[in-house]
A and B are shown apart, each in its own frame.
Chain A
Protein backbone atom coordinates (compact mmCIF):
# COMPACT_ATOMS: atom_id res chain seq x y z
CA UNK A 1 0.00 0.00 0.00
CA UNK A 2 2.91 2.35 -0.60
CA UNK A 3 1.92 3.76 -3.97
CA UNK A 4 -0.94 6.21 -3.52
CA UNK A 5 -2.50 5.41 -6.88
CA UNK A 6 -2.69 1.77 -5.91
CA UNK A 7 -4.45 2.36 -2.64
CA UNK A 8 -7.56 0.26 -2.13
CA UNK A 9 -10.70 2.21 -1.40
CA UNK A 10 -11.80 -0.17 1.33
CA UNK A 11 -10.02 -1.90 4.16
CA UNK A 12 -11.50 -4.44 6.57
CA UNK A 13 -9.89 -6.41 9.34
CA UNK A 14 -11.08 -8.44 12.27
CA UNK A 15 -10.50 -7.76 15.95
CA UNK A 16 -11.48 -9.92 18.89
CA UNK A 17 -11.51 -8.74 22.48
CA UNK A 18 -10.62 -11.31 25.09
CA UNK A 19 -11.18 -10.73 28.79
CA UNK A 20 -7.54 -9.70 28.92
CA UNK A 21 -8.14 -7.14 26.17
CA UNK A 22 -11.12 -5.70 28.01
CA UNK A 23 -9.19 -5.44 31.27
CA UNK A 24 -6.20 -3.91 29.50
CA UNK A 25 -8.47 -1.36 27.88
CA UNK A 26 -10.23 -0.60 31.17
CA UNK A 27 -6.87 -0.03 32.83
CA UNK A 28 -5.47 2.13 30.05
CA UNK A 29 -8.61 4.18 29.57
CA UNK A 30 -9.76 4.40 33.17
CA UNK A 31 -13.23 3.17 32.19
CA UNK A 32 -13.99 0.62 34.86
CA UNK A 33 -17.70 0.30 34.24
CA UNK A 34 -18.38 -3.25 35.41
CA UNK A 35 -20.34 -4.20 32.30
CA UNK A 36 -16.99 -4.78 30.60
CA UNK A 37 -15.41 -7.22 33.05
CA UNK A 38 -17.98 -8.36 35.66
CA UNK A 39 -20.17 -11.05 34.11
CA UNK A 40 -22.84 -11.17 36.90
CA UNK A 41 -23.14 -7.38 36.64
CA UNK A 42 -23.54 -7.59 32.86
CA UNK A 43 -26.15 -10.34 33.06
CA UNK A 44 -28.15 -8.49 35.69
CA UNK A 45 -28.53 -5.78 33.08
CA UNK A 46 -29.72 -8.18 30.44
CA UNK A 47 -26.51 -8.72 28.51
CA UNK A 48 -25.51 -12.25 27.58
CA UNK A 49 -21.79 -11.56 27.82
CA UNK A 50 -19.23 -8.94 28.68
CA UNK A 51 -19.60 -6.01 26.32
CA UNK A 52 -16.73 -4.57 24.34
CA UNK A 53 -16.24 -0.90 25.21
CA UNK A 54 -17.69 1.32 22.51
CA UNK A 55 -14.57 3.45 22.72
CA UNK A 56 -12.39 0.40 22.16
CA UNK A 57 -14.25 -0.26 18.91
CA UNK A 58 -13.74 3.37 17.97
CA UNK A 59 -10.06 3.03 18.80
CA UNK A 60 -9.86 0.01 16.47
CA UNK A 61 -11.45 2.09 13.71
CA UNK A 62 -9.12 4.98 14.40
CA UNK A 63 -6.12 2.65 14.25
CA UNK A 64 -7.35 1.11 11.02
CA UNK A 65 -7.54 4.51 9.33
CA UNK A 66 -4.35 5.83 10.93
CA UNK A 67 -2.37 2.81 9.76
CA UNK A 68 -3.94 2.99 6.32
CA UNK A 69 -2.91 6.62 5.88
CA UNK A 70 0.36 6.42 7.83
CA UNK A 71 2.83 8.92 6.48
CA UNK A 72 0.27 10.36 4.07
CA UNK A 73 -2.29 12.02 6.27
CA UNK A 74 -3.87 12.32 9.66
CA UNK A 75 -7.38 11.96 11.02
CA UNK A 76 -9.07 15.27 11.74
CA UNK A 77 -12.51 13.89 12.58
CA UNK A 78 -13.66 10.49 13.78
CA UNK A 79 -17.39 10.38 14.44
CA UNK A 80 -19.24 7.18 15.34
CA UNK A 81 -22.62 6.04 16.53
CA UNK A 82 -23.05 2.71 18.28
CA UNK A 83 -25.94 0.64 16.95
CA UNK A 84 -25.34 -2.64 18.67
CA UNK A 85 -23.17 -4.34 21.21
CA UNK A 86 -20.25 -6.63 20.60
CA UNK A 87 -19.07 -9.15 23.12
CA UNK A 88 -15.87 -10.73 24.33
CA UNK A 89 -14.26 -13.53 22.34
CA UNK A 90 -16.46 -12.77 19.33
CA UNK A 91 -14.94 -11.47 16.09
CA UNK A 92 -15.64 -7.87 15.20
CA UNK A 93 -15.08 -6.73 11.63
CA UNK A 94 -13.69 -3.21 11.45
CA UNK A 95 -14.02 -1.49 8.11
CA UNK A 96 -13.26 1.77 6.37
CA UNK A 97 -14.15 2.85 2.86
CA UNK A 98 -13.28 6.02 1.02
CA UNK A 99 -16.49 7.81 0.06
CA UNK A 100 -15.26 11.20 -1.04
CA UNK A 101 -12.36 13.46 -1.71
CA UNK A 102 -12.19 17.24 -1.66
CA UNK A 103 -8.71 18.57 -2.29
CA UNK A 104 -6.51 17.32 0.51
CA UNK A 105 -9.46 16.08 2.54
CA UNK A 106 -10.56 12.45 2.29
CA UNK A 107 -13.86 11.28 3.74
CA UNK A 108 -14.38 7.69 4.78
CA UNK A 109 -17.25 5.60 5.98
CA UNK A 110 -16.24 3.50 8.99
CA UNK A 111 -18.02 0.65 10.69
CA UNK A 112 -17.84 -2.38 12.89
CA UNK A 113 -19.92 -5.49 12.34
CA UNK A 114 -20.62 -8.65 14.26
CA UNK A 115 -20.16 -12.18 12.96
CA UNK A 116 -23.57 -12.11 11.25
CA UNK A 117 -22.66 -8.95 9.37
CA UNK A 118 -24.93 -6.66 11.36
CA UNK A 119 -23.29 -3.28 11.75
CA UNK A 120 -22.78 -2.44 15.38
CA UNK A 121 -20.99 0.86 14.83
CA UNK A 122 -21.41 3.29 11.96
CA UNK A 123 -19.67 6.56 11.34
CA UNK A 124 -17.31 8.68 9.34
CA UNK A 125 -13.69 9.71 9.40
CA UNK A 126 -12.01 12.64 7.75
CA UNK A 127 -8.34 12.57 6.85
CA UNK A 128 -6.23 15.57 5.96
CA UNK A 129 -3.63 14.47 3.46
CA UNK A 130 -0.12 15.65 4.12
CA UNK A 131 2.95 14.09 2.51
CA UNK A 132 2.78 11.83 -0.52
CA UNK A 133 -0.49 13.31 -1.65
CA UNK A 134 -2.33 11.17 -4.10
Chain B
Protein backbone atom coordinates (compact mmCIF):
# COMPACT_ATOMS: atom_id res chain seq x y z
CA UNK B 1 0.00 0.00 0.00
CA UNK B 2 1.14 3.57 -0.53
CA UNK B 3 0.70 6.77 1.37
CA UNK B 4 -2.57 8.50 0.82
CA UNK B 5 -2.46 11.70 -1.25
CA UNK B 6 -3.53 13.80 1.70
CA UNK B 7 -0.81 12.37 3.94
CA UNK B 8 -3.31 10.50 6.09
CA UNK B 9 -3.12 6.91 7.16
CA UNK B 10 -3.03 4.15 4.59
CA UNK B 11 -5.67 1.40 4.69
CA UNK B 12 -3.05 -0.95 6.15
CA UNK B 13 -2.12 1.52 8.87
CA UNK B 14 -5.79 1.94 9.67
CA UNK B 15 -6.11 -1.82 10.00
CA UNK B 16 -3.06 -2.03 12.25
CA UNK B 17 -4.52 0.69 14.45
CA UNK B 18 -7.80 -1.19 14.61
CA UNK B 19 -6.31 -4.28 16.28
CA UNK B 20 -8.38 -4.85 19.39
CA UNK B 21 -11.61 -3.76 17.71
CA UNK B 22 -14.59 -5.69 18.96
CA UNK B 23 -17.91 -6.25 17.34
CA UNK B 24 -21.15 -6.00 19.24
CA UNK B 25 -21.79 -8.59 21.91
CA UNK B 26 -24.42 -11.06 20.85
CA UNK B 27 -26.44 -13.76 22.52
CA UNK B 28 -27.60 -16.79 20.57
CA UNK B 29 -29.53 -19.89 21.48
CA UNK B 30 -29.13 -23.31 19.89
CA UNK B 31 -32.72 -23.67 18.74
CA UNK B 32 -34.33 -26.80 17.33
CA UNK B 33 -35.59 -25.18 14.14
CA UNK B 34 -32.29 -23.49 13.43
CA UNK B 35 -30.39 -26.67 14.13
CA UNK B 36 -32.62 -28.52 11.68
CA UNK B 37 -32.08 -25.85 9.00
CA UNK B 38 -28.33 -25.91 9.52
CA UNK B 39 -28.09 -29.69 9.47
CA UNK B 40 -30.13 -29.77 6.28
CA UNK B 41 -27.89 -27.13 4.68
CA UNK B 42 -24.73 -29.11 5.36
CA UNK B 43 -26.23 -32.41 4.21
CA UNK B 44 -26.69 -33.99 7.63
CA UNK B 45 -29.80 -35.82 8.80
CA UNK B 46 -32.04 -32.87 9.59
CA UNK B 47 -33.81 -34.76 12.37
CA UNK B 48 -30.58 -35.35 14.27
CA UNK B 49 -30.09 -33.48 17.52
CA UNK B 50 -26.30 -33.54 17.65
CA UNK B 51 -24.87 -30.05 17.29
CA UNK B 52 -22.28 -30.00 14.47
CA UNK B 53 -18.85 -28.76 15.47
CA UNK B 54 -19.20 -25.85 13.06
CA UNK B 55 -22.61 -24.58 14.18
CA UNK B 56 -21.13 -21.54 15.91
CA UNK B 57 -20.27 -20.27 12.42
CA UNK B 58 -23.92 -19.23 12.39
CA UNK B 59 -23.30 -17.01 15.39
CA UNK B 60 -20.52 -15.08 13.70
CA UNK B 61 -21.33 -11.86 11.91
CA UNK B 62 -20.06 -12.63 8.42
CA UNK B 63 -18.52 -10.81 6.76
CA UNK B 64 -17.21 -8.74 9.66
CA UNK B 65 -18.51 -5.19 9.79
CA UNK B 66 -15.27 -3.51 10.88
CA UNK B 67 -15.06 -0.25 8.87
CA UNK B 68 -11.27 -0.36 8.52
CA UNK B 69 -11.56 -3.71 6.76
CA UNK B 70 -14.11 -2.47 4.29
CA UNK B 71 -11.75 0.39 3.37
CA UNK B 72 -9.07 -2.08 2.24
CA UNK B 73 -9.48 -3.79 -1.13
CA UNK B 74 -12.67 -4.64 -2.91
CA UNK B 75 -13.97 -7.82 -1.38
CA UNK B 76 -13.74 -10.63 1.12
CA UNK B 77 -12.30 -14.10 0.82
CA UNK B 78 -12.29 -16.64 3.61
CA UNK B 79 -8.74 -17.69 4.45
CA UNK B 80 -9.34 -20.23 7.18
CA UNK B 81 -11.32 -21.31 10.22
CA UNK B 82 -10.41 -22.99 13.45
CA UNK B 83 -12.94 -24.35 15.92
CA UNK B 84 -11.74 -25.38 19.37
CA UNK B 85 -14.46 -27.19 21.28
CA UNK B 86 -14.09 -27.03 25.03
CA UNK B 87 -17.63 -28.04 25.90
CA UNK B 88 -19.83 -29.39 23.10
CA UNK B 89 -22.96 -27.37 22.50
CA UNK B 90 -26.37 -28.91 23.01
CA UNK B 91 -29.86 -28.04 21.96
CA UNK B 92 -31.13 -25.20 24.15
CA UNK B 93 -27.72 -23.81 25.07
CA UNK B 94 -27.41 -20.04 25.20
CA UNK B 95 -24.05 -18.60 24.21
CA UNK B 96 -22.68 -15.10 24.45
CA UNK B 97 -19.97 -14.02 22.04
CA UNK B 98 -18.07 -11.03 20.76
CA UNK B 99 -15.84 -10.84 17.71
CA UNK B 100 -12.36 -9.41 18.38
CA UNK B 101 -9.95 -8.30 15.67
CA UNK B 102 -6.55 -9.58 16.75
CA UNK B 103 -4.12 -9.02 13.89
CA UNK B 104 -3.37 -8.11 10.32
CA UNK B 105 -0.68 -9.15 7.89
CA UNK B 106 -0.23 -7.78 4.39
CA UNK B 107 1.05 -10.08 1.65
CA UNK B 108 1.83 -9.77 -2.02
CA UNK B 109 0.87 -12.57 -4.33
CA UNK B 110 0.14 -13.33 -7.96
CA UNK B 111 -3.17 -11.54 -7.74
CA UNK B 112 -1.75 -8.46 -6.04
CA UNK B 113 -1.61 -7.23 -2.50
CA UNK B 114 -3.96 -8.55 0.13
CA UNK B 115 -4.50 -8.28 3.84
CA UNK B 116 -4.96 -11.29 6.12
CA UNK B 117 -7.13 -10.37 9.07
CA UNK B 118 -7.50 -12.53 12.15
CA UNK B 119 -10.66 -12.50 14.25
CA UNK B 120 -11.18 -14.44 17.47
CA UNK B 121 -14.55 -15.20 18.98
CA UNK B 122 -15.18 -17.00 22.25
CA UNK B 123 -18.58 -18.52 22.82
CA UNK B 124 -19.41 -18.73 26.51
CA UNK B 125 -22.29 -20.30 28.39
CA UNK B 126 -24.29 -18.21 30.88
CA UNK B 127 -22.07 -19.39 33.76
CA UNK B 128 -18.98 -18.16 31.91
CA UNK B 129 -17.79 -21.57 30.75
CA UNK B 130 -15.91 -21.40 27.47
CA UNK B 131 -17.73 -23.67 25.04
CA UNK B 132 -16.13 -22.90 21.69
CA UNK B 133 -13.28 -20.69 20.56
CA UNK B 134 -13.26 -19.73 16.90
CA UNK B 135 -10.35 -18.20 15.01
CA UNK B 136 -11.17 -16.88 11.58
CA UNK B 137 -8.72 -15.69 8.95
CA UNK B 138 -10.45 -13.33 6.57
CA UNK B 139 -8.82 -11.85 3.50
CA UNK B 140 -9.38 -8.44 1.95
CA UNK B 141 -8.03 -7.85 -1.51
The residues of A with any CB-CB pair to B shorter than 8 Å are 15, 21, 24-25, 27-31, 33, 35, 45, 53-56, 58-60, 62-63, 66-67, 74-82, 123
Contact = CB atoms under 8 A, between A and B. Distances in A.
B52 interface: yes
Contact of B62 (A33, A78, A80): A33
A80 B80 contact: yes
A42 B107 CA distance: 23
Interface string B36-48: 0110111110000
Contact of A78 (B74, B82, B88): B82
Nearest to A74: B88
B126 to A, nearest CB: 22
A133 to B, nearest CB: 18
Interface residues of B, number: 32
A28 B137 contact: no
B24 interface: no
Nearest to B85: A76
A44 B50 CA distance: 39
Given A33-B63, A75-B85, A66 B41 contact: no
Nearest to A122: B80
B81 A80 contact: yes
Contacts of B44: 63, 67
Contacts of A30: 58, 60-62
Contacts, number: 100
A27 B80 contact: no
Given A63-B44, A74-B88, A29 B57 contact: yes
Listed residue (A24, A29, A45, A74) with the most chain B CB atoms within 10 angstroms of its CB: A29
Q: Which 7 A-B pairs have the closest CB atoms?
A: A54-B78, A59-B42, A24-B41, A81-B80, A79-B82, A31-B62, A28-B38
A27 B37 contact: yes
A66 B53 contact: yes
Contacts of A21: 41, 43
A27 to B, nearest CB: 7
Nearest to A13: B43
